[in-house]
Amino acid sequence: MYRICVKYRITICLPKQVPEAVGNSFLALVPIMFIAIIIAIIVVFLITFLWWFGIHGGSLVQSVTRPFRIIALDENQNALQNGNLIQNDFVEPFFQWFAQYGGAGSTIGLVIIGSIIAKSKLVKTTTRTSLIPSIFNINEPILFGLPILVNPYMWVPFVFSPVAGAIVGFGAQKAMGINWVLHPFHGHFRAQLVHTLPQGDKMTSDYY
């Protein structure tokens, strides 16, 4: 990716007056951004892809990726406290509040729609039962109760909705550790607007 970006000049171009050593330090910024986006999409895809087969994708994939996201989040918090620019977008809150909105597969929309307009008594009962847990990002009732897992009709929306959420949410993340069971509206607010939060809001601090 780095080689492709440099070859086709997909980089930050600085004026010739800038010393070469300084200009070279900016060459990696765009490739790193592309690599980060690709890795984030792959991680999100693998989580829901494994979930669809009944394997807990979150536990399996995030046991490897979460430490790196927490380190990146800590770097953002330190930068914010020191008055510096935040550099890392793909931190823990990004995945919890943009790629897994309502639980694995971003199923909160399905739960809300099913609770209101579903014609099937089974679907309506299951989605209404799952509504409160889904608000707090717990969606096992809908995954196993509908079911979504190993359901060919649900494969595309379940696997690719989080990918779309990750792409759309890129750049919106500002940095703040948020407990994954926090309700979505507050979670989105804290994920993006950490710099506006009062100190008293720390009572809902993250679990790291």
pLDDT digits (tens, 9 = 90+) for 105-136: 888 888 999 999 988 888 899 999 888 988 88
Look at residue 36 and tell me if it is in a domain: no
181 assigned to some structural domain: yes
Q: What is the residue range of 102's domain? A: 58-193
More confident residue, 137 or 36: 137
12 assigned to some structural domain: no
Mean pLDDT of the chain: 74
Total domains in the fold of the chain: 1
Q: Which two tokens stand for residue 133?
A: 């847990």
User: Is residue 7, in this structure, part of any structural domain at all?
Assistant: no
**3-state class (DSSP) for residue 157:** helix
Residue 138 domain flag: yes
Is residue 47 domain-resident? Answer: no
